[in-house]
Amino acid sequence: MAKNNYDVIVVGAGFAGLYMLHNLRSRGFSVRVFEAGGDIGGTWYWNRYPGARCDVESLEYSYQFSEELQQEWVWSERYATQAEILKYANHVADRFELRRDIQFDSHISKMAFDETSNSWTITTADGEATVSRFCVMATGCLSSTNIPAIEGREKFAGGTYHTGSWPHHGADFTGKKVGIIGTGSSGVQSIPIIAEQADHLYVFQRTPSYAIPAYNGPYDPEYERERKANYKNYREEAKNSRSGFLLAINEDMAMDVSEEERQVAYDKRWKRGGLTFLGAFNDLLTNKEANDTAADFVRSKIQEVVNDPDLAEKLSPQTVVGCKRMCVDTNYYQTYNRDNVTLLDVTEHPIDEITTTGIRRDGTEIELDELVFATGFDAMTGALAKIDIKGSNKTTLKEKWAEGAKTYLGVAIAGFPNLFIVTGPGSPSVLANMMPAIEHHVEWISDCINYCRETNCNRVEASSDAEEAWVAQTNELASHTLFPTCNSWYLGANIPGKPRIFMPYLGFQRYLAACEEIVEKGYKGFSLS
């Protein structure tokens, strides 16, 4: 029997869920948030692995909805640590008194829409049911961890970790033989630090990553003062960009300038560090020839840093740079010059099995005390697909998405009335600075719910036609780029059996304009009744 009745239920208490609660509550809606974890923070609650930090500058990777908040909070470093970001999330929760409406340790396992009452019944894994008119899924794009089904995985007798659900008490690798599988952003951040602790670190690499130096360090107080004094302009500039942060994309095309000019441009970006490297030219993600010049540049840097040329070769990616999420590193390539680090290429010699005492590969067993999976996430759809969500005709979301995720604007799904997703597939989401992406969605969803209240509507639903057209547009935009050319998680290619469809919508500014136009046209593509 369901108890309690709320205007809106929010699932997830990461940055999306926290702001959704604050925004709706301040407009007078009754809201209940359910969070599987023991506290707030989402990504920053779960990802406590050594070296975890943001790779979008802290001054940009933060909320802008409250001027007081953005002025009072002081970031200590250019790329804040997980601990500092979690502290910030806690500050936000305290400042806006959010905890009182959040129920922790409450994993939502079932949700069903009732046609008669136009409401959702949401049930926790413990069987507690709650009813609401609207439901907002703030379940995260990178919250459903992926542990590959490697033979013997459960046999390993030593400590096993996944970067995305790191133990709160931490892990001490001192004097241990540690294995780590995966060299994406989580691997790139944690490998240098684990290597400093471990007796020996074995890195199992399938695809090498492109990593750009972070040059992290304390913020210069003058830089911070200037940024904060002009926050409004900077935030506005970021909103009018392709990715929601200050990538400073050069308008020039790489192949229109001389080889020498290209090198100067790449060198300048390399010295600046971070993801802005990809903004060196306008066509790096649309023209393979242009992309090759940037990839060559990064490979030359790897050769410069890594002493052993064979090792440098193994660490050099051959994929399109930026096609998989680029990494931002501190001492990543340098770590391979250490005597206690061994790189093992699992494309050349795949892992045969995990044993009780280590990993067997190429006929020999590497003995390990601890094993770290830095193997990523079932991105964008994983957390949603894990919940048994039954829409208006009793079809589950998992069934609906069996051939690939379909949404309208990345926020709504045909057949699932009164349900919204924050940064879902079909929105810029993971290809943007997630903070402004989240804030935009929260405000758009809240406006829509408020519009419903003002117009006495009980039901909002995306039409199938609008959804189909949106999916087609998302694919069309990606097809003009190099993004579909590699096995990225943007395409679902990291999860065996997951349908391949490019999930993020390309172009943050274009997306914001589309959302605005839809509202101006009376929520075009939605039926409100």
**Given the rule CB under 6 A, which residues bind ligand FAD?**
11-17, 34-37, 42-43, 45, 47, 52, 54-56, 61, 107-108, 138-143, 186, 383, 387, 422-423, 433-434, 438
- Least separation, in Å, of the C-beta of 336 and ligand FAD? 22
143 near ligand NAP, rule: CB under 6 A = no
- Residue 227: Cβ within 10 Å count: 18
- Residue 159: Cβ within 10 Å count: 16
- Least separation, in Å, of the C-beta of 37 and ligand FAD? 4
Q: Count of residues binding ligand NAP (CB under 6 A)? A: 28
Q: Of residues 106, 139, 143, 183, which one binds ligand NAP by CB under 6 A?
A: 183
182 near ligand NAP, rule: CB under 6 A = yes
135 vs 368, beta carbon nearer ligand FAD:
135
274 near ligand NAP, rule: CB under 6 A = no
- 47-66: which residues touch ligand NAP (CB under 6 A)? 54-55
Considering CB distances under 5 to 8 angstroms, the limit depending on partner class, which of ligand FAD, ligand NAP, none binds residue 376?
A: ligand NAP
82 vs 291, beta carbon nearer ligand NAP:
82
In a 10 Å sphere around its CB, with 0-12 CB exposed, 13-18 middle and 19+ buried, how is residue 323 labelled?
A: buried
- Least separation, in Å, of the C-beta of 124 and ligand FAD? 8
374 near ligand NAP, rule: CB under 6 A = yes
185 near ligand NAP, rule: CB under 6 A = yes
How does DSSP classify residue 524?
T
In a 10 Å sphere around its CB, with 0-12 CB exposed, 13-18 middle and 19+ buried, how is residue 179 labelled?
A: buried
Name the residue among 123, 143, 140 with its Cα closest to residue 132. Answer: 123
- Least separation, in Å, of the C-beta of 374 and ligand NAP? 5
* Contact of 386 with 362, CB cutoff 8 Å: no
Pairing of the two strands 159-162 and 364-367? unpaired
335 near ligand NAP, rule: CB under 6 A = no
Q: Is 397 helix (H, G, I), strand (E, B) or coil?
A: helix
184 near ligand NAP, rule: CB under 6 A = yes
43 vs 183, beta carbon nearer ligand FAD:
43
138 vs 328, beta carbon nearer ligand NAP:
328
Q: Which two tokens stand for residue 327?
A: 């990494």
* Encoded amino acid at 508, one letter: F
In the bound state, the residue with its beta carbon closest to ligand NAP is 184
Instruction: Match 């008194």 to its residue by tokens.
Output: 97
Q: Is 240 helix (H, G, I), strand (E, B) or coil?
A: coil
Q: Which two tokens stand for residue 239?
A: 């909103």
Q: Of residues 328, 372, 383, 409, which one binds ligand NAP by CB under 6 A?
A: 328
* Contact of 507 with 249, CB cutoff 8 Å: no
Q: First CA to last CA across the chain, in angstroms? A: 27
Instruction: Match 């406006």 to its residue by tokens.
Output: 447
Considering CB distances under 5 to 8 angstroms, the limit depending on partner class, which of ligand NAP, ligand FAD, none binds residue 12?
A: ligand FAD
Considering CB distances under 5 to 8 angstroms, the limit depending on partner class, which of ligand FAD, ligand NAP, none binds residue 474?
A: none
* Contact of 463 with 526, CB cutoff 8 Å: yes
What is the spatial distance between Cα 89 and Cα 435, in angstroms, rounded to a whole number?
A: 12
Considering CB distances under 5 to 8 angstroms, the limit depending on partner class, which of ligand NAP, ligand FAD, none binds residue 190?
A: none
148 near ligand NAP, rule: CB under 6 A = yes
